[in-house]
Amino acid sequence: MLDGTVSGCLNHPGVEAAFRCKQCMKPVCRSCVVSAPRGNFCSAACKEKFEAFADRAAALDNRIKGSGFAKLRQLAVKLILLVAFLAGSVWMFTTIEIPYVSDWAWKLRDLLGI
C-alpha cells in the first residue's frame, strides 16, 4: 500500500488514480479531480488552501520587487537631477563671470571633464 506509487483513487480504491493533489499529494481519479488553472486537486478545500498560499507568495514577491524597483528608479531620478543641476550651474558660472564662484566652477568643470 505505502510503496509511494500512484495506486487507487482516494474515494474509489478500485479505480486507478490519474492525478495527484498538488496540495496534499493524495491520488485521485478523473471523476474526483478538482481541476484549476494552477493544477489538479483532490478537493475544493485543497484547491483553496493552495491558491491562498500561492496568492500570498505572489503578493509578497510583488511587494519586494515593487519596492526595490521604485527605490532604484527614485535614486536614478535623483542622480540625473543632481548631474543636470551640477552641469547647469557649472555652465552658468563659467559663462557668466562671477568672482570666486567662477573659479570654483572652472575647477569643477575640469574635474567632471565637461
Residue 8 burial (CB < 10 Å; 0-12/13-18/19+)? middle
9 vs 105, beta carbon nearer Zn ion: 9
HEC string for 62-74: HHHHHHHHHHHHH
**Chosen residue from 6, 18, 29, 34 binding Zn ion by CB under 5 A:** 29
Question: Which residue type sits at 76?
Answer: A
34 vs 108, beta carbon nearer Zn ion: 34
**Chosen residue from 6, 8, 11, 51 binding Zn ion by CB under 5 A:** 11
Angstrom distance (rounded) from CA 25 to CA 14: 18
105 lies in the binding site for Zn ion (CB under 5 A): no
**Which residues bind to Zn ion, rule: CB under 5 A?**
9, 11-12, 21, 23-24, 29, 32, 42, 46
